[in-house]
């Protein structure tokens, strides 16, 4: 449990930590009333993020992606479009048999510190460029319909977020399978009350992959 100021603002995404460690950390932040500020860059790494990652969550996502990819080890890659700082892609890559690419339009609407290795590309352009075997979208902007355009392509896709807080609810008119993850954590959660708002929704995926 964080004890001093520096521990409270440590970079929780510096490495992939266990669910229990991450959950405890955010429970402590919530008691201080600091969750939103922390997720808006008030942390020693200046990270600005929506989904909060932990080992169990990343492993369960990786498992579905690997099943979708099947046995072939070569191209095409996995693409995280709208990746923000690309941390999910970095956490996933060691667990995935294919190259994982992170892209984002980096259009200046968010205070995200995008690393140079996250390629500046609109989501649909990124899909045209890389023809990915699997697509990940994490917290697309509220009312964005890009997720719908992506799902219509028929490529296996993981949509991470909250149906009422990001993207467009019409996306759920397409068939989907919710993971109902026990490990999904986000900036909008109430950690003490155990009210969790996000999940992974799989589109164009076979039930046996999940």
Residue with structure tokens 């690309």?
A: 86
Answer for which of 22, 58, 65, 82 binds ligand SAM (CB under 6 A) is 82
Does 34 engage in binding with ligand SAM (CB under 6 A)? no
Residues whose CB is less than 8 angstroms from the CB of residue 2 and which lie 6 or more positions away in sequence, other chains included: 8, 10, 25, 28
In this structure, what token pair is assigned to residue 4? Answer: 């001093």
Residue 166 or 207: which CB sits closer to ligand SAM? 166
Residue 137's nearest CA partner among 92, 196, 200 is 200
Residue 200 or 206: which CB sits closer to ligand SAM? 200
Task: Judge contact between 139 and 188, C-beta under 8 A.
Answer: no
Which single residue brings its beta carbon nearest to ligand SAM?
84
CA distance linking residue 209 with residue 135, whole number of Å: 15
Answer for which of 64, 79, 81, 205 binds ligand SAM (CB under 6 A) is 81
Does 104 engage in binding with ligand SAM (CB under 6 A)? yes
Residues whose CB is less than 8 angstroms from the CB of residue 167 and which lie 6 or more positions away in sequence, other chains included: 137, 140, 141, 142, 143, 144, 145, 146, 147, 148, 159, 161
| Helix, strand, or coil (residue 168) | coil
Residue 146 or 155: which CB sits closer to ligand SAM? 146
Q: What one-character-per-residue DSSP string does 188-209 give? A: T-BTTTTB---EEEEES--GGG
Site size with ligand SAM, rule: CB under 6 A: 21
Residue 115 or 175: which CB sits closer to ligand SAM? 115
Does 101 engage in binding with ligand SAM (CB under 6 A)? no
CB of 146 to ligand SAM, least distance (A): 4
Write out the binding residues for ligand SAM, residues 37-56 only, by CB under 6 A: 49-51
Task: Judge contact between 162 and 187, C-beta under 8 A.
Answer: no
Write out the binding residues for ligand SAM, residues 136-155 only, by CB under 6 A: 138-141, 144, 146
CB of 162 to ligand SAM, least distance (A): 11
Residue 25 or 139: which CB sits closer to ligand SAM? 139
Q: Which residues bind ligand SAM (CB under 6 A)?
A: 49-51, 81-84, 104-107, 110, 112, 122-123, 138-141, 144, 146
């Amino acid at each position: 449990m964080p004890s001093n100021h520096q521990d409270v603002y440590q970079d929780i995404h510096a490495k992939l930590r266990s669910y229990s460690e991450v959950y405890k950390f955010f429970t402590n932040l919530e008691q201080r009333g600091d969750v939103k500020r922390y997720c808006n860059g008030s942390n020693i790494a200046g990270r600005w993020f929506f989904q909060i990652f932990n080992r169990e969550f990343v492993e369960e996502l990786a498992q579905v992606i690997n099943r979708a990819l099947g046995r072939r080890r070569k191209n095409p890659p996995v693409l995280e479009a709208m990746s923000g700082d690309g941390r999910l892609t970095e956490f996933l890559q060691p667990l995935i048999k294919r190259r994982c690419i992170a892209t984002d339009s980096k259009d200046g609407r968010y205070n995200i510190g995008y690393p140079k290795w996250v390629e500046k590309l609109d989501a649909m352009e990124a899909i045209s460029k890389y023809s990915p075997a699997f697509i990940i979208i994490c917290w697309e902007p509220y009312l964005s319909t890009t997720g719908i355009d992506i799902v219509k392509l028929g490529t296996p896709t993981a949509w991470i977020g909250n149906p009422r807080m990001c993207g467009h609810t019409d996306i759920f008119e397409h068939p989907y399978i919710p993971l109902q993850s026990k490990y999904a954590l986000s900036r909008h959660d109430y950690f003490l009350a155990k009210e969790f708002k996000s999940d992974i929704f799989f589109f164009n995926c076979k039930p046996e992959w999940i």
